[in-house]
Structure 1
Amino acid sequence: MAMEKVKKNDFIELEFIGKVKNGEVFDTNISEEAKKIGLKIDDKPFILCIGQEMVIKGLDKSLNGKEIGKTSSVDLLPSEAFQERKSSLVRLIPLSVFTQQKILPKQGMTLALDNMLVKIVSVSGGRVLVDFNNPLSGKIVSYEFTIKRKVDDINEKIQAITDYFIRKDVKFDLKDTKILLEIEEAFSPIIAILNNKFKSIINLEFELKK
């Protein structure tokens, strides 16, 4: 008997392992695999909406049409994963930018700068050569993944949307065709911009709770 297949705009629970070409794991949401590489992960189920690029583009495309419960794999070129390396993202930055933040940059060091993960290529005199490219840019990567279940519960869907788009644990109430979010007024412009997307995904509007 054939298993149910999922399609665009279905919500699913996904388990995955991401590897580079030599087999080294760089990302996973499976606890046992995460422990092997010293990766701390959130233990709650990873729920996403297919076709909304809530995972990298190539993996998102691969989910469409897959059977629930079946493990699949896909190899992704840089264009479908973490993009090609760009020389424009390797920049010289004054050493003072780091010292003002009490950071002593050293060659090979990886650190957060301007909310981005960067690598220190070299330090010479008062200048630092910094690589802003994603560490996985230019690499072929592979994913092994399993769609554990299709998610039908509206509360789980709403939670998945707020987790991804708002990046914040948000309390909410469902009233008629509206989702009332208990969140700071500062998020109002973001909600307004994204509301059409939210409506296209779950046919409900998001509002801030008064």
Structure 2
Amino acid sequence: MCTPSLLASVVPKVSDGLSEGDIVLVDFEAWTDDGELFDTTRQDLALEEGWDVDEDELRPMPILLGGERVVPGFEQALLEAEVGEESEVEVPPVDAFGKHDDNRVRLYPRSELEKRDINLQPGAQVEIEGQRGQIVQTTASRVRVDFNHPMAGKTLEYEYEVLEIIEGDQEKLEALIALDYAVSKAEDFQVTVEDGEAIVTVPDEASFDSQWFMARHRLGHDVFEHTELDGVEFRDEVTREQMEEHDHGHGPGAAQAAPQPH
């Protein structure tokens, strides 16, 4: 199991400064300049703002500094942070999700998108010709689609605290599982490390999750880049009962229809 210090209670460590390549545990909330909460690790706050989240879904998350996993302005602030101190930073669009580009807002004939069975409700997230966008306006004949990032053009305000620097190969591996796969699911993995070799027992829920297949490839790269481990063995933990439940839930041909890594 992931250690309690990683995903539950945390005791801050004294740091002489952070640098790229460090893995840190961060608690934060992020707001747009018009007062909308758009990202947070704080469960109580999310519930107060009306988010639909599962119990204990949100918690402090590991961040790989220099890994470009968060917007550049926030990452730079983390590099300059002191462990255990609460801080704030305002991040302009150029250091967040970029300026809003009017050239990425396009008009389509409504009939063309209806033929593709695309949801034309304003606010709907869609994919058209390999690009993700948002329906911003629908009329009787035309549809306006914005292919900018939803946060493009917005100034972001972060309140955050670096709780600890994650050290030790086992702790780093557990943190990377959370980072590459899902923070809320990482504690279901069992990790053991001995003589530079790690064994990761993969829970049955992840064994049938296409997102885990993709995360596993990223994880393999990150482990050798950011730990001293010489090898990692992944073991899928699947019982007869679990397999029967999975097959029953998916029906005949489920194995052939399972998503493939890409």
- TM above 0.5, yes or no, is yes
Aligned residue runs from structure 1 range 143-154, under 5 A: 143-154=158-169
Measured after TM superposition, the shift of residue 13 of structure 1 is: 1.6
Structure 1 counterpart of 2:8: none
Structure 1 pair 112/132, CA: closer, same or farther in 2 (3 Å)? Answer: same
2:175 to 152, 160, 164: 160
Q: TM-score, normalised by structure 2?
A: 0.62
Percent identity (aligned): 23
Deviations 1:143-189 (A, max 9, x none): 111112222253342233233334575655545434455677x9889
Give me the whole-angstrom Cα distance separating, in 2, the residues matched to 1:22 and 1:73: 17
Q: Counterpart in 2 of 1:38?
A: 50
> Following the alignment from structure 1 to structure 2, what is the Cα–Cα distance between the partners of residues 190 and 147?
24
In structure 2, distance between residues paired with 1:110 and 1:171: 40
Point out where structure 2 has 5 or more consecutive residues left out of the alignment.
1-13, 236-262
Give the secondary structure class of the aligned counterpart of 2:124: strand
What secondary structure does 1:55 align onto?
A: coil
Q: More strand by proportion, 1 or 2?
A: 1
- Structure 1 residues 129 and 97, CA, compared in 2 at 3 Å: closer, same or farther? farther
Question: CA, structure 1 residues 4+209, in 2 after alignment: closer, same or farther (shift >3 Å)?
Answer: closer
Q: Is contact 1:178-1:207 (8 Å) kept?
A: yes
Q: Please, which runs of 5 or more residues in structure 1 have no aligned partner? A: none
1:27 aligns with 2:59: no
Contact kept in structure 2, 1:110 and 1:117, CA below 8 Å:
no
Cα separation, partners in 2 of 1:182 and 1:128, compared to 1, 3 Å: farther
- Name the structure 2 match of 1:204: 229
CA contact (8 A) 2:170 2:191 kept: no
Amino acid at match of 1:110: G
CA-atom RMSD, angstroms? 3.4
Superposition deviation, residue 130 in structure 1 = 1.1
Q: Which amino acid aligns with 2:161?
A: T
Q: SS in structure 2 opposite 1:110?
A: coil
1:163 and 1:190, CA in 2 relative to 1: closer, same or farther beyond 3 A? Answer: closer
Contact 1:172 1:179 in 2 (8 A): yes
Q: Name the larger-Rg structure.
A: 2
Question: Does the CA contact (< 8 Å) of 1:95 and 1:126 recur in 2?
Answer: no
Given candidates 184, 196, 208, the residue that maps to 1:177 is: 196
Deviation for aligned residue 1:126: 5.0
TM-score, scaled relative to structure 1: 0.75
- Give the match for residue 96 of structure 1: 114
Q: Distance in 2 between matches of 1:193 and 1:30?
A: 26
